[in-house]
A and B are shown apart, each in its own frame.
Chain A
Amino acid sequence: MAAPMAGRLAALGRRLAAPARAWLPGLTQVRWSRYGPSYLEPVVNKEVNRKPLEELSEEEKTQQELKALHPIKATASNVTSSVFSDPTISKFTNMMMKGGNKVLARSIVTQTLEGIKRKQLEKYYQASEEERESIECNPYIIFHQALKNCQPVIGIYNIQKGGKTYQVPSPLKDNRKRFLAMKWLITECREHKHHRTFMHEKLSQELLQAFNNEGPVIKRKHDMHKMAEANRAYAHYRWW
């Protein structure tokens, strides 16, 4: 918590010092915040406030004192203190959303989770005792595992050198991996779906397939890996 604060203070300091320079044409301050430097980030997790005084470490004690003196920023409206909130699911819902219709996106996602759970439970109740332990019924676990299975390990970047564009393989950051997995899943469901099937049905099908490491999204991940392998020769074009 202290490190990003220091970073932000430094950035703000730089920005405050900037007007001391001569005004440069084409340089306008685009990103600004209504909050001054003293504002602290909100903490949504209820557990943090429930710890008794003795258990707090030194850092946490200073944090508490800071909170008493400084104002706190407002939380985003999609953040809840509910025990059932999941940041991955929120991110996925936002990516599904079209035209700001969060209600529809959220209903699709909840129906998908329900669909996964129903399919797995039906399998569970019709299976014998030994098979029951291997059947996973928790839709959240299936969702997370399926996304993890869809994440590529290595990605491709287009780099221009000497007039030609080369596909250069390079390791991906975590955020990029998560984004690609979700994006592939959603585009796959949108494009290769019969127009009479519901989105949540198709999504639940794809998620279950990805959970078992099969299906079109996993294939796309493997294609990406193969491309990277094929373009191994250009790896030295990477400078980061």
Chain B
Amino acid sequence: MLRSVKGVICQGPKLDSGYFLHASARAWLSAAVNQDVQIPAEKPRTVFRTSESNPANHAEQHEGQHYSIPLQEVKVVFPHGLPYRFQMQMKTFNESCLMVRKPALELLGYLKSTNFAHPAIRYVIYGEKGTGKTMTLCHAVHYCAKQDWLVLHIPDAHLWVKNCRELMQSSYNKERFDQPLEASTWLKNFKTSNDHFLKEIKTQQTYMWTKRESTEKGRPLGEVVEQGLTRVKNASDAVGVVLKELKKQCPLGSFRLLVAVDGINALWGRTALRKKDKSANGGAIVTTLSQTGSLFKPRSAYLPHELLGKEGFDTLDPFIPIQVSNYSQREFESCYQYYLDRKWLQHERASTEEGRKELLFLSNSNPWQLERISAYL
């Protein structure tokens, strides 16, 4: 079959020697999957993109390809949570494209087959620095948002735990400290992403904010969020209330909850703020480990046991680990083509074979490193 396909390609238009082998290899791969042979000249340019923008339909044939999310959706689904460099890239390119990768497909498969009657399964995404853990999490969040789940997305647990500019003693528990600023920004973003849910969910208990203000039982959760936004001092209490309500109401089955926490190892480091992880029914908990912001941990630590510590590991245990690694050959090629297409790689030599080999070597197929290097090339 390879010979016949190669025969077709030999008769095709004359290509650069650099692209020739790629074209034949890729044509064979996708011909086997898609069962139609496209014109070889288009192959190197279109293979890194796919028009399938619903994560529910992403399958293995889309692996390595970028799918774009319309900017309007991005504002609603990801008010926070995307990495800073990705946000800058979105602003420059005027579009946002995520790459479909194996760990994400694995996670989506698990999420699709969750049984909502059972207690929530915990997934921990781990991997070396810069391999794409946060992006995998965002892919899962996008899928869940499309499927109309209620998404509780905490962009970076490290922010809640260190470098507090304003600390206040919590009114609930004398040992705990609050962070009003972080809490209020989080509440604002939570509102943007889950607007329609907030009107439906009702509180089950009366909450006293101050002597005069209180939220009665049975009021929509939106009011609690508003309260937190207007009274910044009570913002963290509002966050606590929201979490408690959602935890209680999840098993009732009226909605599905996804708790997505980035950098969960922050919650068990040496910190002042303590938040216990709760069990939740009828949803899923997806977390990532992040070494970048964690305190007192060595640079090369990336395995769950090292980053979580004994206490964290015991609390999270049992969980399904999902490892994210560097780009494969195909994914690297796809990313390279995407950057060339969006004119991100501007250097004359970057589009040559030499340049490509050098990029591969310099970045070691690490997505973060590749992005940083191609930024100045």
Binding site for B on A (CB under 8 A): 82-84, 110-111, 113-114, 117-118, 121-122, 124-126, 137-140
A84 to B91, CA, bound (A): 26
Contacts of A137 in B (CB 8 A): 343, 346
Tell me the dominant secondary structure on chain B's binding face. helix
**Is there contact, CB below 8 Å, between B92 and A122?**
yes
For A120, the closest partner residue in chain B by CB is: B346
**Is there contact, CB below 8 Å, between A84 and B375?**
no
Interface centre among A83, A113, A137, A138 (most CB of B within 10 A): A83
Shortest distance from the beta carbon of B311 to any chain A beta carbon, whole Å = 38
- Interface pairs (9), CB distance under 8 Å: A83-B349, A84-B349, A84-B358, A110-B375, A121-B93, A122-B91, A122-B92, A124-B343, A126-B94
Within 8 A of A (CB), among B346-365: 346-350, 352, 354-355, 358
Binding site for A on B (CB under 8 A): 88, 91-94, 343-344, 346-350, 352, 354-355, 358, 375-377
**Is there contact, CB below 8 Å, between A84 and B343?**
no
A82 to B358, CA, bound (A): 7
**Is there contact, CB below 8 Å, between B376 and A110?**
yes
Shortest distance from the beta carbon of A109 to any chain B beta carbon, whole Å = 8
Shortest distance from the beta carbon of B92 to any chain A beta carbon, whole Å = 5
Contacts of A122 in B (CB 8 A): 91-92, 94
Shortest distance from the beta carbon of B329 to any chain A beta carbon, whole Å = 21
User: Which of B344, B354, B376 sits near A83, CB closer than 8 Å?
Assistant: B354
Shortest distance from the beta carbon of A12 to any chain B beta carbon, whole Å = 38
**Is there contact, CB below 8 Å, between A140 and B88?**
no
Interface centre among A82, A84, A111 (most CB of B within 10 A): A84
**With A84-B358, A110-B376, A117-B375 as contacts: A139 and B92 at CB distance below 8 Å:** no
Further 4 A-B residue pairs, CB within 8 A, beyond A84-B350, A122-B94? A83-B352, A84-B349, A110-B376, A117-B375
User: Which of B91, B347, B354 sits near A138, CB closer than 8 Å?
Assistant: B347
For the complex of A and B, the 7 pairs showing the least CB-CB separation, nearest first, are A110-B376, A138-B346, A83-B349, A114-B375, A113-B376, A125-B94, A83-B354
Interface centre among B354, B355, B375 (most CB of A within 10 A): B375
Total number of residue pairs linking A and B with CB closer than 8 Å: 46
Tell me the dominant secondary structure on chain A's binding face. helix
User: Which of B91, B94, B346, B354 sits near A139, CB closer than 8 Å?
Assistant: B346
A101 to B358, CA, bound (A): 26
Contacts of A138 in B (CB 8 A): 346-348
Shortest distance from the beta carbon of B369 to any chain A beta carbon, whole Å = 13
Contacts of A111 in B (CB 8 A): 376
**Is there contact, CB below 8 Å, between B93 and A84?**
no
Interface centre among A117, A124, A138 (most CB of B within 10 A): A117
A79 to B210, CA, bound (A): 68
Shortest distance from the beta carbon of A141 to any chain B beta carbon, whole Å = 8
For A138, the closest partner residue in chain B by CB is: B346
For B88, the closest partner residue in chain A by CB is: A118
Shortest distance from the beta carbon of A96 to any chain B beta carbon, whole Å = 15
A117 to B376, CA, bound (A): 8
A30 to B229, CA, bound (A): 73
A192 to B92, CA, bound (A): 28
A118 to B355, CA, bound (A): 21
**Is there contact, CB below 8 Å, between B93 and A125?**
yes
Contacts of B93 in A (CB 8 A): 121, 125
**With A84-B358, A137-B343, A138-B346 as contacts: A118 and B92 at CB distance below 8 Å:** yes
**With A84-B350, A122-B91 as contacts: A114 and B376 at CB distance below 8 Å:** yes
